[in-house]
Structure 1
Amino acid sequence: MSAHDADPTVTGPHDPEHEPSATLAFEPEHAALLTQRLVATSGESAVVSSPLTGQPLAHIPQSNDGDVAEAFRRARRAQADWVRRPVGERAEALLRFHDLVLDRQDEVLDLIGWESGKARKHGFEELSHVALTARYYARTAARHLRTERRPGLFPSLTRIDVNYVPKGVVGIISPWNYPFTLAMSDGLPALVAGNAVVIKPDAQTVLTALLGAQLLEEAGVPRDLWQVVAGPGPEVGSAIVGLADYVCFTGSTATGRIIATGCAERLVGCSLELGGKNPILVLRDADIERAAEGAVRASFSNAGQLCVSTERMFVADQVYDRFVDRFVARTDAMTLGATLDWGNDMGPLISADQLERVRAHVDDAVAKGAVVRTGGRARPDLAPYFFEPTILEGVTPEMSCFGAETFGPVVSVYRFHDEADAVARANEGEYGLNGSIYSQDGPRARAIAREITCGTVNINEGYGATFGSVDAPMGGMRQSGLGRRQGAEGIRRYTDIQSVGTQRLVRIAPMMGMSDAAFAKVMTSSLRAMKKLGRA
């Protein structure tokens, strides 16, 4: 069925084999109502299918360049009023949104499952992260954005005020792997800072982003302030880059480079969270059971389709065999399924393309001598795009999965004898997003963390300690991105910094007939005196 001969109000049937046992809070038939929020007048639509069943889920109206321009016009009009509202009033809307997300979680989780196929508990990670982010910025925005006093040139005579001025309209291009939190959490600080948002979610997960926009409106955010457009990235994404006052993107490094180039041409800022080939180091003093449990979550949450998930594990020789045995056993004990119910430890991959990439990486590794300790197979009996959680040994540099990001449930395990060598191997490659260290010696592990070239490093946890601590900045080094989300950095990126200097009594120039040479001598004496007084 093509996008042009389909009835846009009709969705595909449920697959009885995967029908959830409980009454759904979000039925596929609700999709047509959500799509009415799109700014899309091209007359074209695209079919999106559910990874749970392979059946059509919805027909998404497509936006064109004119629709993107219209979305920005609406957003700019709304922002002109929004920015005049007190930050406390804007924050109250985020707190109401926080409550709606928690109150309507069954509806949100059903839709995340329909669109992404992920296990329900991994959908809840998204939902809770959105609630955490909304509450955090509602409570802290005034502190992050308040005018700051800085030391002036002449103490008591020069006053410096630093203001954080909203940029205007922020463009967000979000991915499919975490369709709720990556569509919403980057935009929430932009809103409370006084900006408007125009977002293009990935084509596979538009409905989840639309539900988030609906909940924002129900929380009191003016509808025009948060615009949603849909369509192919090269067209619609490029149009956003050409109009936004700031761009926030999460996705591949290759696309991130294109977006950075477009922003550079316009001299507008951007933040980019990009690819990763994230390592875990299991040191000789690690708690083996805890490390094995954490490795399962770090490697196979959301079927490995997580920017900060683990794809490489470096294990000390002293504990290697015990750790790998426990890691394999825990992986074999995982509950695999493709339903909307609680209880599954892992769901399917999102698409045929993703399945083919994962299968190709595993087949290539096996053909070149890698050993599959567990997994290694597609499971069409569970869902069309299901691939087993897979642990590989003996991966070498000529194998595709050695350095390239798989973005699936595949992890390679390596033995090390020397910790300095393990750190060097963990730092190999072009990426630097997330890392993890397992050790019972916290100070020693934190010291090693400083040597890991990653934007976030977790001790005795795979990714949740940094990802869930929303006061801590999060982002990548090297080819894993620019800028940071979360914390003060996550809201101030959406502002321009303005310094206002007020000079009193004396001017910064010769006075009362003083010559330029005499003024220079006075200033020289002042500079020396300020150094002796310890002033900055």
Structure 2
Amino acid sequence: MAILQRTLLFTARAAARSQFRPSSPRPLIAVQTLRLASTMAPKLRDPSLFKQNVCYVNGEWVTAASGKTFEVHDPATGELIGTCPEFTPEDTEKAITAAAAAFESFRHKTGRERSKLLRKWYDLVVENAEDIATLITWENGKPTADARGEAAYAANFLEWFSEEAPRIYGDTIPSSVPGNRVVTIKEPVGVCGLITPWNFPAAMITRKIGPALAVGCTVVCKAPGETPFTPLALAELAHRAGIPPGVVNVVTALANTPEVGEILTTHPTVRKVSFTGSTPVGKLLMRQCSGTLKKLSLELGGNAPFIVFDDADVDLAVAGAVASKFRSSGQTCVCANRIYVQRGVYDEFAAKFAAKVREFKVGSPFEAGVTHGPLIHDRAVAKAESHVRDAQSKGATVLLGGRRRADLGPNFFEPTVLTGMTADMAMASEETFGPVAGLFPFDTEDEVVRLANATPVGLAGYFFSRDVARVHRVAEHLEVGMVGVNTGIISDPAAPFGGVKESGFGREGSLYGVAEYQVTKMITYGGMGKPLQS
């Protein structure tokens, strides 16, 4: 392997650790305590949805050729959930070959035929939503209510794109050449390599596969190493829905993640790659894709500003901030990361915001009434804690939270509210990806827009104001791909999701998400100008 390739691979391994590596070993005493305190594994209504030691390739459940597997652990207890195949590039190439063979026939199905397949898959996900939610909670740590929301959200992408499949339109374009007619048709790009994250193990699968299948593409999906069982359950439901062999392939890997990512980005048969994850890994994948000039969609990291102006409805802003910041314990790419509050309402907002957060209940995600479970692994806890300690050392005040909760399990951290934040603190420039909310004061609109845009990323931004002129002005000046005005929730299958700057490019969801999996073919017809024969 060339020196450059070795360097890129080393970089991939290092960068991927933040998303794909298991937690470091825990002290023996702590593990023993957890095992004694743990409850029985959750029960599925349909146990056959729990797929261990197999991946889904060409309509069949297969193992890695080497027989190697990796372990998946419950983030709440540290206990073993199960094992999955450690696929190699050679294993993955078989999936690519299957997808290529299936593409030759699947691309020619009518939009209505593809629509019916997606609709059947949607129906099955809805029927099995409780089991999907259980798997999400078990391997991701989301409380049951949150996991149920994701299961519904994942199903909705299949429904949305099932409705888009029959409506793939081209254009008729007036030609400047007499007697010519110009038309365009939309064609599927081909085999797609999809790499999905652990924080939405169901919804990120369907948000990518849905539009790919709607237009006639076939896919090889690399499931996240931390949360592979949810994607594998979705693959089982796709199989039951009658989606033809080779159209949907789901592979798993943990230690081999960089190598599997490399085969998806360099294989000439793969014509499109879609990745959701960190900016460093996205940059590496983009370099790898350049050798074969693949179509590429990247949904990368964010550092979302959340702005509350003096003229805002403070109660509405508090509700929006709670929803945006603490959804999935702050582990979403569109979470509010920097909360800017104008000085006229700063104290009122801080008091009301802290009061709402104080109502949260942290604990086992399967326990009734729990609002927030564990973070995904110990590195996530360490980062949240380091951001709190950094802010404290530079003058911030902890209104509540700020501590690990080792009494609950290995990966628990209290929902935290900090006041007196300043631009020199780590949270001002780094994405926390945890349940830590820092409140930054500001004075003027110009100042806060400048602060909001002072970052190399630009995924989402939020602001609250009742001034109509300001609403239009600030929305247009924020350097982000998505803006929430007087709301903290912006995700919707009907809405285009994606960022600008180093948050990536391309859009998911909506009709724009469909276009990401298409190419436009132009056809010019000559000799069309002859007069009609009598």
Opposite residue 483 of structure 1, the aligned amino acid is G
The aligned counterpart of 1:518 is: none
Of residues 174, 178, 182 in structure 1, which corresponds to 2:196? 174
Contact 2:365 2:372 in 1 (8 A): no
Summarize the Cα distance change of 1:150–1:14 in structure 2 as closer, same or farther, 3 Å threshold: farther
Q: Are 1:161 and 2:187 an aligned pair? A: no
Structure 2 counterpart of 1:226: 248
1:147 aligns with 2:159: no
2:330 aligned with 1:304, yes or no? yes
1:184 Cα deviation after fit: 2.1
Partner of 2:478: 452
Tell me the matched-pair count. Answer: 492
What are the ranges of 5 or more consecutive residues in structure 1 without an aligned counterpart? Answer: 3-11, 508-536
Distance in 2, matches of 1:22 and 1:472, equals: 34
**1:142 deviation in Å?**
2.5
Residue 416 of structure 1 corresponds to which residue in structure 2? 442
Alpha carbons of 1:270 and 1:343: their partners in 2 closer, same or farther (altered >3 Å)? Answer: same
Q: Percent identity?
A: 33
State the match for 2:519 in structure 1: 496
CA gap of 1:27–1:292, structure 2 versus 1, over 3 A, is farther
Q: Secondary structure at the match of 1:54?
A: coil
User: What amino acid does structure 1 have at the position aligned with 2:459?
Assistant: L
The Cα of 1:430 is off from its aligned counterpart by 0.7
Partner Cα separation in structure 2 for residue 236 and residue 21 of structure 1: 30
Report the counterpart of residue 16 of structure 2 in structure 1: none
Q: Which amino acid aligns with 2:260?
A: V
The CA deviation string for residues 41-65 of structure 1, in whole angstroms up to 9 with x for no partner, is 2221111101121101111111111
2:304, 2:458 within 8 Å by CA — same for their partners in 1?
A: yes
- CA shift, 1:133, in A, is 1.4
Change (3 A) 1:501 1:16: farther
Retained in 2: the 8 A contact 1:275–1:307? yes
Distance 1:26 1:335, change over 3 A: farther
- Which one-letter code corresponds to 2:154 in the other structure? V
Asked if the contact 1:38/1:227 (under 8 Å) is kept, the reply is no
> Are positions 1:71 and 2:95 aligned together?
yes
Whether the 8 Å contact between 1:26 and 1:111 is mirrored in structure 2 is no
2:211 equivalent to 1:183: no
Q: Is the 8 A contact 1:373 1:390 kept in 2?
A: yes
Q: Offset at 1:74?
A: 0.9
Supply the AA of the counterpart residue of 2:237: L
Structure 2 letter corresponding to 1:149: T
TM-score, scaled relative to structure 1: 0.87
Matched letter for residue 517 of structure 2: Y
Give the Å deviation of 1:26: 6.4
1:165·1:496 contact (CA, 8 Å) conserved in 2?
yes
Secondary structure class of the residue paired with 1:306: coil
Q: Compute the displacement of 1:472 (Å).
A: 2.3
**Quick check: 2:155–2:206 contact (8 Å CA) kept in 1?**
no
Q: Counterpart of 1:88?
A: 112
What residue in structure 1 maps to residue 13 of structure 2? Answer: none
Q: Give the 3-state SS of the residue equivalent to 1:25 in structure 2.
A: coil
Spell out the pairing of 1:189-200 with structure 2 (5 A cutoff).
189-200=211-222
> Aligned partner of 2:527: which letter?
R
CA pair 22-246 structure 1, distance change in 2 beyond 3 A: closer
**Runs of 4+ more than 4 Å apart:** 12-18, 20-24, 26-29, 33-36
Q: CA deviation at 1:20?
A: 8.0
Structure of larger gyration radius: 1
SS at match of 2:78: coil
**Aligned 8 A contact 2:50 2:233 in 1:** no
Q: Aligned partners of 1:61, 1:277: CA distance in 2, in Å?
A: 34
- Secondary structure at the aligned position of 1:298 is classed as helix
SS in 2 for 1:223: coil
User: For structure 1, which segment, 46-55 or 36-45, has the greater mean C-alpha deviation from structure 2 after superposition?
Assistant: 36-45
Q: Aligned equivalents of 2:147 and 2:357: distance in 1?
A: 20
1:514 matched to which residue of 2? Answer: none
What's the secondary structure of 2:405's corresponding residue?
Answer: coil
Per-residue deviation at 1:35? 5.0
**What's the CA shift for 1:500?**
0.4
Deviation string, structure 1 residues 41-95 (Cα, Å, up to 9, x no partner): 2221111101121101111111111111101111111121211211101011111
Does the CA contact (< 8 Å) of 2:34 and 2:78 recur in 1? no
- Contact 1:39 1:68 survives alignment (8 Å): no
1:342-491 mapped onto 2 (5 Å cutoff): 343-442=369-468, 444-462=470-488, 464=489, 466-468=490-492, 470-491=493-514
Following superposition, the deviation at residue 39 of structure 1 comes to 5.6
> Does the Cα contact within 8 Å between 2:55 and 2:63 map onto a contact in 1?
no
Amino acid at match of 1:501: T
Quick one: distance in 1 between partners of 2:463 and 2:84?
43
Note if 1:108 corresponds to 2:128.
no
**Distance in structure 2 (CA, Å) of the matches to 1:87 and 1:14:** 51
Q: How far, CA to CA, are the matches of 1:394 and 1:346 in structure 2?
A: 25
Asked if 2 retains the 8 angstrom alpha-carbon contact of 1:473 and 1:490, the reply is yes
